[in-house]
Amino acid sequence: MDQLQYGGKATAPRSKVTIPDLLAMKRKGQRFTMLTAYDAPTARFVEQAGIDVILVGDSVANVVLGHSSTLPVTMDQMVSHAAAVSRGASRPLLVGDMPFGSYQASPADAMRNASRFLKEAGMDAVKLEGGVEVADTVRALTRNGIAVMGHVGLTPQRAAQLGGFKVQAKTADAARALVDAALALEEAGCFSVVLEAVPVQVAALATERLSIPTIGIGAGNVCDGQVLVFHDALGLGMGDFKPKFAKRFAELGPVIVEALREYDAEVRAGTFPADEHSFHMKEGEAAELARGEAATKPRAV
Ligand code: KIV
């Protein structure tokens, strides 16, 4: 029988990754992995690869929505992408990234928006950018039952204030301030902290001083976990900009273009769709259709 098949719910081979699992991995010195995803099929690939944590990053603004910064993405858009991710994967810990403007005005605002990730999108936790200045917000969220991942170093929502996408904490004073910020986030209740674009020595010090896991991106191999943007890791980016830390584990862009060229050529040549891609009537129905057509055809005079 001809059947239409469009994907389906992912099957999770191992048990759900939890926050206590990540804390235990840090204690045991076992590294863990995090990748971004923004839709159901991608989340499914990430889950199938055995990645521990999926971040529905506000980097969706850059790599999916075509913006030049993360600032324009809205809470509604983030909830929609996060809900798609949770339909595609259930085993990894799922973290929704709070977009610019969704948590800065007040802890009450942060609470309202963060709870949307849990209630409407099936996320397990949220992430927000900033150090000491967001500690009260982190405290309010965690006190009310929302698990929070911090993010210090290069915080893209503040790129203008930071003078662009630059390595942070390069001086001893700035390094001490960054470690203090990470400690303040831990004290406020964060279960982990992303360290973005900081020297290896700073990441090493933070990883040693914090009892919660550090997750590095452009922070060397000394962190407890690593994160990359899905599109950077697989060569799916739109522009030529390639951050030094974003190793490409595959170049899928040219593979996709080649496949699409084949589709284009086969349609033009009439070789696609072939018989195996087409639906057919039962013999009797086809014959009756032909008879009916012949009966209604105007006769030649
Ligand atoms: O939005 C994002 O993808 C991120 C990661 C780079 C950590 O915040």
Which residues contact residue 294 at a Cβ distance below 8 angstroms, ignoring those fewer than 6 apart?
Answer: none
CA distance 15 to 168: 37
Average pLDDT over residues 275-292: 95
Give the CATH number, domain containing residue 145: 3.20.20.60
pLDDT in tens, 150-172: 999 999 999 999 988 999 999 99
Q: What is the pLDDT of residues 78-94, one digit of tens each?
A: 999 999 999 999 999 99
Q: Are residues 178 and 267 in the same domain?
A: no
Residue 185 lies in a domain: yes
Residues 220 and 94 in one domain: yes
pLDDT attached to residue 9: 46
Number of domains in the chain: 2
Is the domain of 204 the same as that of 273?
A: no
Q: Are 90 and 10 in contact (CB under 8 A)?
A: yes
Structural domain containing residue 269:
256-296
| Catalytic residue flag (residue 258) | no
> How far is Cα 98 from Cα 32, in angstroms, rounded to an integer?
22
pLDDT tens digits, one per residue of 102-133: 999 999 999 999 999 999 999 999 999 999 99
What's the predicted TM-score (pTM) here? 0.92
Confidence label for 300 from pLDDT (cuts 50, 70 and 90): low
Q: How many residues does the chain have?
A: 301
Are 204 and 283 contained in the same domain? no
Asked whether residue 301 is assigned to any structural domain, the reply reads no
Whether 178 and 168 have beta carbons less than 8 Å apart is answered as: yes
Question: Is there a single domain that holds both residue 148 and residue 38?
Answer: yes
Mean pLDDT throughout 14-27? 96
Residues 291, 226 share a domain: no
What is the number of the ligand 1 atom nearest to the C-alpha of 36? 3
The preferred substitution site among 70, 102, 223, 241 for testing ligand 1, maximizing ligand atoms within 8 Å of CB, is: 70
CA-to-CA dists, residue 283 to 2, 66, 276, 287, 295, angstroms:
15, 50, 17, 6, 18
Residue whose CA lies nearest to ligand 1 atom number 2: 57
Q: In ligand 1, which atom is closest to the CA atom of 58? A: 1
Residue 221 DSSP SS3: helix
Confidence of residue 14 (pLDDT cuts 50, 70, 90): confident
157 and 205, same domain (yes or no): yes
In a shared domain, residues 199 and 273 = no
